A and B are shown apart, each in its own frame.
Chain A
Amino acid sequence: MSSKKTALFGLAVLRPVALSILSLFLVSACATAPDPTDPEAVSEYRQINDPAEPANRAIFAVNEVVDMVVLKPAAGMYRDLVPPPVRDGIHNALNNLRSPVVLFNDLLQGEFERAGTTIVRFVINSTIGVLGLGDPASSLGFEYHNEDFGQTLAAWGLEEGPYIMLPILGPSNPRDTVGMVVDLLVDPFNWWAHNTDRDYVTYTRAGLRAVDERARNYEALEDLKRSSLDYYATIRSLYRQRRTDEIRNGDDSAVSPAPGLSTVPDGPRVRKTEEVSLSQ
């Protein structure tokens, strides 16, 4: 393919992301810095790691409106009108289309066994599974797992950086934002669509993925929105914890203290020392 096309494709993908990030800085309000003489407040501020909180909240509010007007109704209709087996088929096919990107990241993380699973799944599901609509591989013991370049960067030791709320795309951080762009750029199906002037395929796929994801979490998100005191802060915490879990591939979360427990000052394990220090 010509290098001009390459550049164009990169630009087409990168532009919205770049704009999103730029807009973050345009709304350049910053979170109130903590009192530097209060070490607890300082450590809390670092832990929350959301220096652009006011801007992030503003973007989150806009995203919520977009969700209310577009995504949520679409997901609701999708759930109500499309029968479950069809939705499962679409979900399977979307997962199957991600295989090259998952494989790419399995390999970069040195997860060769998982890479093997990804290849076997792709072969079985694309053929016997009829273009990935079915998932016979799972019943043969080759279950789906996801990987992305954000997780690869984490596996390589890169910190996530501050929390960022991306317009439309939702919660992220610099590491995962870069990861998202890399995943888009390496995805062979995106290349194929672009080189055959079928970019609409890429957009349709992205749209379907959003609707599928939203529909699958429909109740969970509504519940969360209704019962949380601060939905924004709750989502921020959930995003971080889920990413940590995904990066560890869901392994043994209890070998170490549960995520965040050790950082919450009044946990049972810490309390004793605190009592000691208080009595001094």
Chain B
Amino acid sequence: MKISITRNVAATAAFLFLSAVALAGPASASQSDDAEAFINGLADKAIEALTTSDVGEAERVKRFRQMFRENFAVEDIGKRVLGRYWRRASDDEQKQYLQLFEDYITASYAKQFASYTGEELVITKTLAEGETGATVFSEIKLPGGGQKPVRVDWRLEGSGKQFKIIDLVIEGVSMSTTLNSDFGSIIRNSGGKVSGLLKVLEEKTASLKNVN
């Protein structure tokens, strides 16, 4: 079995994303240039804000959450991850779910940045998709050489200086698709009830926090 998606890489990628304070230059040349600038800016900012060793755990978590909110289409991702069960959830459940989703992602990824060891993001190409979408293809080079770089594709929505990440595809593995399978399975095993997922999500988030 070959699952060469490392969490570290996912985290590196996620945080590379995170910094979207677009350093973008003057009047944008093209959609794909803007998208690249967004990802590069995000990468720099994430490394700066999240990986410094003197950041305390609580502060790192806080910063991660903020970057996640600013640079990811959190609500759209959350909805897509819930898939067909989104419409089955009551208004209350939807609200609770989106909050738990953010908490869960923050709890699973924030601490990954603590173990950053100099991975480097290199953009290999960018495809504009219509006027409001783009995919930035990148490779994350692991330090020390010898190891193959990890392919990470950033799927974006937006234009100009306003981009949001809608999915992250690492070596062909989409985060949304994987979470969709994971969450969907929990719901089906709870008799199709979204409330079953909310409970598990809450427990899991709590246990992830306790590990620290």
Could you tell me which A residues sit within 8 Å of B by CB distance?
40, 44, 48, 88, 143, 170-171, 213, 216-217, 219-221, 223-224, 226-230, 232-239, 241-242, 244-246, 248, 250, 253-255, 258-261, 264-268, 271, 278
B174 touches which of A228, A241, A265 (Cβ 8 Å): A241
A229 touches which of B4, B7, B182 (Cβ 8 Å): B182
Judge whether B172 and A253 touch: CB under 8 Å.
yes
Given contacts A245-B171, A250-B171, A253-B169, contact A260 B180 (CB under 8 A): yes
- Please tell me if B80 contacts chain A, counting CB pairs below 8 Å: yes
Judge whether A242 and B173 touch: CB under 8 Å.
yes
A-B contact pairs, 5 of them (CB 8 A): A237-B178, A238-B178, A242-B5, A254-B137, A264-B176
Beta-carbon contacts under 8 Å, B1-27 to A: 1-8
Complex alpha-carbon distance, A268 and B80, angstroms: 8
A220 CB to nearest B CB, Å: 4
Judge whether A254 and B1 touch: CB under 8 Å.
no
- Please tell me if B153 contacts chain A, counting CB pairs below 8 Å: yes
Judge whether B146 and A88 touch: CB under 8 Å.
yes
Residues of A within 8 A of B45 (CB): none
Complex alpha-carbon distance, A246 and B171, angstroms: 9
Residues of A within 8 A of B182 (CB): 228-230, 233-234, 237
Judge whether A224 and B7 touch: CB under 8 Å.
yes
Judge whether A237 and B181 touch: CB under 8 Å.
yes
- Give the interface centre of B157, B169, B200 by most chain A CB atoms within 10 Å: B169
Judge whether B86 and A238 touch: CB under 8 Å.
no
- Please tell me if B184 contacts chain A, counting CB pairs below 8 Å: yes
- Give the interface centre of A170, A236, A237, A248 by most chain B CB atoms within 10 Å: A237
Judge whether B80 and A267 touch: CB under 8 Å.
yes
Binary flags per residue of B170-194, CB closer than 8 Å to A gives 1, else 0:
0111101110111111100100000
A171 touches which of B1, B129, B185 (Cβ 8 Å): B1
Could you tell me which B residues sit within 8 Å of A by CB distance?
1-8, 76, 79-84, 86-87, 108, 127, 129, 135, 137, 146, 148, 151, 153, 155, 157, 166-167, 169, 171-174, 176-178, 180-186, 189, 197, 200-201, 204, 208, 211
Complex alpha-carbon distance, A248 and B181, angstroms: 22
Judge whether B83 and A264 touch: CB under 8 Å.
yes
Residues of A within 8 A of B172 (CB): 241-242, 244-246, 248, 250, 253, 259
Residues of B within 8 A of A238 (CB): 3, 5, 173, 178
Complex alpha-carbon distance, A20 and B204, angstroms: 33
- 5 closest pairs, A vs B, by CB? A245-B172, A233-B185, A260-B177, A237-B181, A223-B7
A72 CB to nearest B CB, Å: 13
Judge whether B177 and A254 touch: CB under 8 Å.
no
Complex alpha-carbon distance, A213 and B1, angstroms: 8
Judge whether B6 and A220 touch: CB under 8 Å.
yes
Given contacts A219-B8, A230-B189, A261-B177, contact A254 B84 (CB under 8 A): no
Given contacts A217-B3, A233-B185, contact A241 B173 (CB under 8 A): yes
Closest to A221 in B: B3
A260 touches which of B127, B166, B174, B185 (Cβ 8 Å): B174
A258 touches which of B79, B87, B167 (Cβ 8 Å): B167
Judge whether A229 and B201 touch: CB under 8 Å.
yes
